[in-house]
A and B are shown apart, each in its own frame.
Chain A
Amino acid sequence: MPQVTLTVNGKTSTVDVEGRTLLVELLREKLRLTGTHVGCDTSQCGACVVHVDGESVKACTILALQANGSQVTTIEGLAKPDGTLHPMQEAFREYHALQCGFCTPGMVMSAIDLVEKHPDGMSEKEIREGLEGNLCRCTGYHNIVKAIAAAQEVMHGRAQALAPAAE
């Protein structure tokens, strides 16, 4: 049986897989990292977004074997060991950027890649366009966009702390 060796959230694992095993199956079923969700399984909804070597990808549309040797970050790997949330997670909490929460892990992972790729900051329109690959069936986009707009200021060092959400 083929084997995949990859580093997930800083921890290196070697796992037996089939040729057809998807990265998301490896993460959820072999490593029990169930924060990465499977929504549509057709690369449309973005609930399964993780980072592979720093790039956001849909983990339902990459073979586990294609990720061999790579560095993977999932939603479980964002907070510091002491529990301090990543600024994007903190912003999602502060701005109430979730309703049912199913799309949230993918939204957060996509949002971080988006912010990192736009060091000069994004307008609201650019944030909305950048989230094209993530669907929220609660249609709760408005606060997600606000959270990302606030988080980018912290992530780019233009603000020391997250701007509080309006009362």
Chain B
Amino acid sequence: MYDFEYHKPGSLADAVKLLSADPDARPISGGQTLLPALKHRLNKPTSVVDLSGIAELKGIKREGDKLVIGALAKHFEVATSPEVKAAIPALAQMASTIGDTQVRNRGTIGGSVANNDPAADYPSAVLGLNATVVTDKRRIAADDFFQGMFTTALEPGELLVAIEFPIPEKAGYAKMRNPASRYVMAGAFVAKTGGAVRVAINGAGPGVFRQADMEKALTANWSPDAVAGVKQPADGLNGDIHGSAEYRAHLVTVMAKRAIDAAG
């Protein structure tokens, strides 16, 4: 790892100032993705800005019909939070399966969503639940936030502050993990919120995406059988030594069925 300066600002305003002043500065929270990337010298920041002391980024709370999760909430906190378990149990269940115990003790929801790894879990929950990403500057709808592999609507120096999840009537998540790396080969997050159905697919493509045919089928009939006949096209899906695009396309339907089953 190349050396860098380390800053730990105490407020959001100070963090934004540090990040805006230097285009080669990088924010860090849990560091479970950034530090491995720095070890591989994939990135050479001049400084890292540790967000962990910023109170504005913390907390999990129910606000009316929304669940608001601060960017710094660790996966372990989301997995065990009584508020999350009561409002969106599928989200708590998802968090309990990210990485391993030690990764969950450090990694944060803000870091995972801002990184938008195609094989990450949280992006499918954010998209499937039609959540709103709140930054220090604006509010971004999930449909506009995720823009393909490791790419989001966040501008340089813009910080993810919190995610607002509308509370669904039903929601479920299922994934097939790579047996060695445990990253997602294909996952599906299904949700019915205010009568509207959304199906978000992660792991299978270069970025999280909505499966419109499954959404239509589930709107007519909320059951695993409704999506059993919906074929995901393999075009554009990831194909690698772990599985072909056709295999992942097949998994998308299987995972969607399981997710609906889990949602009940």
Contact = CB atoms under 8 A, between A and B. Distances in A.
- Among A42, A62, A113, which residue has the most Cβ atoms of chain B within 10 A? A62
A119 interface: no
A66 B32 CA distance: 12
A interface, how many residues as a size bin? 20 to 34
Contacts, number: 73
A151 B232 CA distance: 48
Contact of A42 (B28, B39, B182): B39
B77 to A, nearest CB: 11
25 contacts: A2-B6, A18-B3, A19-B4, A19-B5, A20-B1, A20-B38, A22-B35, A43-B35, A43-B36, A56-B101, A56-B102, A57-B105, A57-B106, A58-B103, A61-B31, A61-B35, A62-B106, A63-B6, A65-B6, A66-B52, A114-B101, A132-B182, A133-B99, A133-B101, A133-B102
Interface in B1-37: 1-6, 8, 28, 31-32, 35-36
Contacts of B238: none
A41 interface: yes
Contacts of B50: 63, 65-66
A141 to B, nearest CB: 15
A49 interface: yes
Contact of B100 (A41, A62, A66, A133): A133
Nearest to A109: B102
